């Protein structure tokens, strides 16, 4: 997955390689499951993600993320970070 500049994921300091285990304590079985869970919620909703960070695999972090509208097409010049 990608983390786009100025996205809710970037604002929450998520990075490529982080593993999302659950969304509001609902287990995530894979990327598609997570996308479906997130897309079923309204923009402005704050969710808590349980995450194993890429560089801190010994603990599970709880990260709050405020959801935003997803643009149909990302504006030019937006890149993901690793």
CATH number, residue 47: 2.30.42.10
For the chain, give the mean pLDDT. 82
What is the structure's pLDDT at 25? Answer: 93
Q: Is residue 42 in a domain?
A: yes
3-state DSSP: the chain helix, strand, coil percent, rounded to 5? 15, 35, 50
What range defines the domain where residue 44 resides? 8-66
21 compared with 35, residue with greater pLDDT:
21
80 compared with 9, residue with greater pLDDT:
9
Q: Is residue 3 in a domain?
A: no
Q: Is residue 78 in a domain?
A: no
- Distance, in Å, from the CA atom of 16 to the CA atom of 44, rounded to the nearest integer, reads 23
Q: Is residue 24 in a domain?
A: yes
Q: Is residue 20 in a domain?
A: yes
pLDDT at 60 over 60: yes
How many structural domains compose the chain? Answer: 1
Q: Is residue 59 in a domain?
A: yes
pLDDT at 82 over 80: no
What is the structure's pLDDT at 71? Answer: 62
**pTM of the complete model:** 0.75
């Amino acid at each position: 997955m990608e983390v786009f500049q100025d996205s809710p994921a970037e604002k929450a300091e998520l990075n490529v390689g982080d593993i999302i285990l659950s969304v509001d304590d609902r287990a995530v079985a894979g990327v598609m499951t997570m996308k479906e869970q997130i897309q079923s919620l309204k923009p402005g909703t704050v969710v808590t993600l349980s995450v194993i960070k890429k560089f801190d695999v010994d603990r599970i972090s709880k990260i709050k993320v405020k959801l935003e509208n997803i643009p149909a097409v990302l504006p030019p010049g937006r890149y993901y970070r690793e």
